[in-house]
Amino acid sequence: MTDPVLDLEDLGFESGAHLLVQRALGGLSPGARLGIKGRDPLLDLHLRAWCRPRGHTVTAADGPVRAWVAPGGPDRWTNAERAGGPHGVVGEAPAHWGLAARGALVEPGGPEPPFDLAERDLVWADIAPALYASAASAQWDPATAVPWDAEFTLPPDIERAVVQVMTYLVENEQAALVVPARLLARVHPHFREVVQLLAVQAADEARHVEVFARRAALTGGPLGTSAAGGRESLATLLTEPDFSLASFLLSVLGEGSFLNLLAFLDRHAPDPVTRRAVRLARQDEARHVAFGVAHLRHRSEADPHLRSRLRAAVERRHDALAASTGLNQDVFDALILLAAGGWSPQAIRRGHAAVLDLRHEMDEGRRRRLVHLGFPDDEAAALSALHTRNFM
Ligand SMILES: [Fe+2]
Ligand SMILES: [Fe+2]
């Protein structure tokens, strides 16, 4: 067997000669050496410098072949492993895969970033890739999607009611932004569709904050009130460390209730800006709820004890909020006035009934989702009744 010879001509290592050497070494038969020809004056020096850390032995030669390279030493890729398949997620992603792309060949060693949500079932839902794709294509521009220049004039009381509701919505949207943003930083990047989905969810909430804050300030009056009870309710969402429990409290129960609230505001909005803003937000919220429900169904299949933990989370939160006032009275009154549309006793009676209907619809929605997660009817009713009076 004749050892093969590579002719680099006048190509030096400063111009990429290592690519040709590496490629030729990769094609060597076991036991063979590679002869190197070339005219670059620094070839011998650079060839040795390149071969040394790779464990290849270089022997000088006289004549047209300037050196012989015998491959050797442990290949740094010998113990490399694939970070799963490009399309298949693994059950548990090791810390040392870190930020490597799913499916990449991962060189051993390197950092082990502390992504503590590294198990598939802790974060996954099969719907995540499709939901991410639809979320990415459904992004709207707050500057143009809402008719900010539409002309309208509302009676001052009605305008104040809109501003009060917007003030309340901004507060809730800010909580809804912080929760997924905190969670996504803990999810192992191997489960990238979940990270991407949570990132878009946070971006959705950023837009909701923007449009509601902008509507609140549209006519130049002061913002409404922020009650301690509402903020207490939201604070309990921020401190839930378990991904599935946080997703349950925020997305299934809270954002699920908000779907009804935003539909109510769409029905009773007194102006086109408010109507458009709540309608756009509601489309996004439907996706947030869908992921929460899908994830919890996925997790409950893997974990038969999940439902009792969900129940305990609702009870814990209820107990923590037992002394708080729940929904800001100013928000409750503003909703009544918006649904009433005026101050006559008949109108207020109608508005009051509409808000009670809203609470009923929220309760029905929560119960339906709880049953969908496997809770029996009576338990779903009991848990829904324990949900925060602040809605979120
Ligand atoms: Fe939102
Ligand atoms: Fe949301």
> Which ligand has the minimum distance to the alpha carbon of residue 277?
1
> Which ligand has the minimum distance to the alpha carbon of residue 289?
2
Total structural domains in the chain? 3
Residues 254 and 341 in one domain: yes
Spacing, Cα 370 to ligand 2 middle (Å): 18
Residues 208 and 262 in one domain: yes
The answer as to whether 65 is a domain residue is yes
CATH number of residue 162's parent domain:
1.10.620.20
Q: Which residues surround ligand 2, an ion (CB under 5 A)?
A: 176, 255, 285, 288
Residues 106 and 17 in one domain: no
Spacing, Cα 138 to ligand 2 middle (Å): 14
> Which ligand has the minimum distance to the alpha carbon of residue 179?
2
d(CA 20, CA 192): 36
d(CA 15, CA 38): 13
Spacing, Cα 58 to ligand 2 middle (Å): 63
Q: Tokens 């959705």 map to which residue?
A: 204
The answer as to whether 54 is a domain residue is yes
Predicted local confidence at residue 72, as pLDDT? 81
> Which ligand has the minimum distance to the alpha carbon of residue 200?
2
Q: Which domain holds residue 99?
A: 82-113
Spacing, Cα 260 to ligand 1 middle (Å): 13
Residues 54 and 11 in one domain: yes
**Other Cβ atoms within 10 Å of 345 Cβ, number:** 8
> Which ligand has the minimum distance to the alpha carbon of residue 262?
1
Predicted local confidence at residue 78, as pLDDT? 78
CATH number of residue 20's parent domain:
3.30.110.40
Predicted local confidence at residue 325, as pLDDT? 81
Picking from 122-131, 272-281, 321-330, 342-351, which range would have the lowest pLDDT averaged per residue?
321-330
Residues 163 and 256 in one domain: yes
Structure tokens at 267: 């029905």
The answer as to whether 11 is a domain residue is yes
Residues 131 and 268 in one domain: yes
Spacing, Cα 203 to ligand 1 middle (Å): 9
Over the stretch 214-264, which tens digit does the pLDDT of each residue have?
999 999 999 999 999 999 999 999 999 999 999 999 999 999 999 999 999
Residues 133 and 31 in one domain: no
Over the stretch 151-202, which tens digit does the pLDDT of each residue have?
999 999 999 999 999 999 999 999 999 999 999 999 999 999 999 999 999 9
Residues 242 and 187 in one domain: yes
What pTM value is reported for the model? 0.87
Structure tokens at 66: 């300037």
Over the stretch 329-373, which tens digit does the pLDDT of each residue have?
999 999 999 999 999 999 999 999 999 999 999 999 999 999 999
Predicted local confidence at residue 73, as pLDDT? 64
Q: What is the DSSP letter of 4?
A: P
d(CA 151, CA 142): 18
The answer as to whether 147 is a domain residue is yes
> Which ligand has the minimum distance to the alpha carbon of residue 172?
1
Residues 193 and 271 in one domain: yes
Helix (H), strand (E) at residue 266: helix 256-268
Residues 376 and 336 in one domain: yes
Spacing, Cα 296 to ligand 2 middle (Å): 16
Spacing, Cα 269 to ligand 1 middle (Å): 17
- Counting every residue written for the chain, the total comes to 392
Over the stretch 33-89, which tens digit does the pLDDT of each residue have?
999 999 999 999 999 999 988 889 999 998 899 999 998 866 677 788 999 976 789
The answer as to whether 75 is a domain residue is no
Residues 265 and 340 in one domain: yes
Contacts of 42 (CB under 8 A, 6+ apart): 12, 13, 14
The answer as to whether 77 is a domain residue is no
The answer as to whether 92 is a domain residue is yes
Residues 140 and 101 in one domain: no
The answer as to whether 346 is a domain residue is yes
